[in-house]
Amino acid sequence: MGFTKKDKAEKIIEDVLEKPSSRRTFLKGASIAMAAGSAALATGCMPSGDDSSSGEMQLRWQEYFKKHYRLMTQKEKDETVDRLERLAKIQDDIDVQIGTEPPIENVLYGYAFNISRCEGFMECVTACVKENNLDRKTNTQYIRIFEMEPGKLDPSTGDGQFYHKVPVENKFYMGVQCFHCENAPCIKACPTKATWREPDGIVVVDYNWCIGCRYCQAACPYFGRRFNWGKGEVPKEELTTKQHYLGNRKRPMGKMEKCTFCIQRTRKGRLPACVDACPTGSRVFGNLLDPDSEIRYVLKHKKVFRMKENIGTQPKFWYFID
Amino acid sequence: MKIYFPNFFQALLLIVLFTGGSAAFANEKSFIDEIKGADAPFDNRSVKLVRPVTLETVLAKEEYQGGAFRVLARKQHIERYKCSSCHVPGKPVLVQQGFELTHGDVVINHGRKGNELSCIDCHNQEDRDYLEDKKGRKIDFDHSYQLCGQCHFRQKRDWLGGAHGKRVTNWAGDRVVYNCASCHNPHSPRFEKRFPATYSVPLN
């Protein structure tokens, strides 16, 4: 039942987006004409032999007028990925590999966090920053760890900016990030349909379709979303070059971004960077549709709860205690 | 008759509303129900791995809910294994020599304060290449979970199921998990206090 309704909704979205829009077709035609014109202009004005700048301009023009990710055919995805890789080479002289791996069949990702094991070492945060090429200048972090008083379960009562030796006696630690809600308010809030739920449950953002209005940030009850204030400055030697179109690729300035369960890793069978880095084993990740998976064991045998369960967002992120 | 028609339509409307409402209700529940109902085994090997585990592993002697699994091997990480290269039967090793050569860094902080475990609580007294549990069974260093689990049985149960410890590198593929001593120092198993790896700034 749940699927059919979702499929129907997706169909409607596709219909609306795909309906021949005179504005779109006009812009597209104009873009091709302008690209051709600009390329001609550039080659006409610049000394011959300097192909890179005109090539870059052409690539950027084509990038401006590409489709929404969900409406692209695989060929169009490959083309935009190729353009992005070439642009990264021209602009920053780095070789990146951007993937467009589709969701895996019969997989629904789920996450569990053990609040009685986490000791606040923050290894997950550094691993996440590195893996997802987060802006070092504004110190963007997808994960926050709160130092909590016993008996309190609301992170707003905790200390999110601790820096002292951990663990502290009689405190516990609680990690917060994007919970990838099944019924996500951010998706409903987005006016351009730039954020959606993938079939494997990951809520993703099309960075090129996002207009940076931040409605989704206001809609998220968990403070899971981050706004890209800067250009995303990452030291070249620290850059993660294995990327995904919907994941850790270079985000333009002024776009929303957030945890994607490390889509560039998880769709290839790997664990997210935070799980890989956790020294205490507080983080459990796996396939909710696999009855033998670790996450299913936790849901079946442990005392679990989700944050703000009463508001009906259905997060796929559970907290549990030993 | 005139009074009857609106009633009939009202009833029809109610029926439509009711069935629609219950359908919406079923939809809201479907996410958790869908998970609970997902009993078909998932073939973890169907996911093509880009980064297979390259660390040395051994097949565990116990099973988890999904059958056999592997644990990280331990022996090659023990400096100066095999222990029998010094501990030869019939040739006693002086405590002084032990401290100088290999065991000087061992600090026992395992068990209640003032009543800590001693070496032979876990190590086999005769054959030093093995551990020994309270029933006197020889236990291989690669399978130390069999020894640790005799006291820490709750942790071992969770470890087998997946709520304690974690998998290595991949969520898919054959299950490979960290061994007890991969994370815990068996002589001093609690993690030491230290400064966090980073700090957080206020949200934008």
Q: What is the pLDDT of residues A206-235, one digit of tens each?
A: 999 999 999 999 999 999 999 999 888 999
Sorting pLDDT into bands at 50, 70 and 90, what band is A75? very high
Domains of chain A, by residue range, sit at 22-97, 109-321
Count CB atoms within 10 A of the CB of residue A154.
11
Domains of chain B, by residue range, sit at 62-183
Does residue B173 contact residue B44 with C-beta atoms inside 8 Å?
Answer: yes
Return the minimum-mean-pLDDT range out of A141-150, A232-241, B13-22: B13-22
Distance CA(A4)–CA(A10), nearest Å, equals: 10
Q: Which amino acid is at A263?
A: I
What averages of pLDDT result for each successive group of 10 residues across chain B (204 residues)? 54 53 51 88 91 94 95 91 84 80 87 90 91 94 95 96 95 96 94 95 73
Does A47 score more than 70 pLDDT?
Answer: no
Distance CA(B12)–CA(B8), nearest Å, equals: 6
Query: Taking a contact as any Cβ pair under 8 Å apart, which residues of chain A between 248 and 277 contact chain B?
Result: 266, 268-271, 275-276
Return the minimum-mean-pLDDT range out of A56-65, A303-312, B16-25, B164-173: B16-25
Mean pLDDT calculated for residue range A171-187: 96
Beta strands in chain A (DSSP E): 97-99, 109-114, 144-148, 172-176, 195-197, 203-205, 225-227, 242-244, 256-258, 283-287, 303-305, 317-321
Question: Min CA distance, A76 vs chain B (Å)?
Answer: 24
Strand (E) or helix (H) holding A294: helix A294-301
Mean pLDDT calculated for residue range A20-46: 53
B47–A104: do the CB atoms touch at under 8 Å? yes
A160–B193: do the CB atoms touch at under 8 Å? no
Chain A residues touching B64 at Cβ < 8 A: 292
Minimum-distance CB partner of A2 among B34, B41, B51: B34
What number of C-beta contacts closer than 8 Å exist between A and B? Answer: 170
- Top-confidence residue, B44 or A11: B44
Q: CA–CA distance from A181 to each of A69, A111, A175, A211, A218 (Å)?
A: 21, 11, 16, 22, 15
pLDDT in the model for residue A4: 54
Asked if A121 reaches chain B (Cβ–Cβ under 8 Å), the answer is: yes
Does residue A232 contact residue A133 with C-beta atoms inside 8 Å?
Answer: yes
Strand (E) or helix (H) holding A270: none
Query: Taking a contact as any Cβ pair under 8 Å apart, which residues of chain A between 61 and 120 contact chain B?
Result: 104, 106-108, 110, 112, 114, 117, 119-120
Chain B interface, best mutation among A122, A162, A290, by max B CB count within 10 A:
A290
Distance CA(A172)–CA(A150), nearest Å, equals: 7
Distance CA(A38)–CA(A30), nearest Å, equals: 12
| A193: alpha, beta or left? (left if phi > 0; alpha if psi -120 to 50) | left
Distance CA(A272)–CA(A264), nearest Å, equals: 9
Distance CA(A322)–CA(B8), nearest Å, equals: 58
Q: Any idea which fold A109-321 has?
A: Alpha-Beta Plaits (3.30.70)
pLDDT in the model for residue A26: 57
pLDDT in the model for residue B61: 95
Complex ipTM value? 0.83
Chain B interface, best mutation among A1, A226, A240, by max B CB count within 10 A:
A1
Does A202 score more than 90 pLDDT?
Answer: yes
pLDDT tens digit sequence for A112-128: 999 999 999 999 999 99
Return the minimum-mean-pLDDT range out of A177-191, A288-302, B82-96: B82-96
Burial A262-280 (b: 16+ CB within 10 A, else e): bbbbbbbbbbbbbbbbbeb
Distance of CA B94 to the CA centre of its chain: 38
pLDDT in the model for residue B22: 46
DSSP-derived 3-state class of residue B141: helix
DSSP A40-104: HHHHHHSPTT-HHHHHHHHHHHHHHTPPPGGG--HHHHHHHHHHHHHHHHHHH----EEE-PPPP
DSSP A21-32: -HHHHHHHHHHH
Does A9 score more than 90 pLDDT?
Answer: no
Distance CA(A320)–CA(A303), nearest Å, equals: 6
pLDDT in the model for residue A30: 57
Sorting pLDDT into bands at 50, 70 and 90, what band is A40? very low
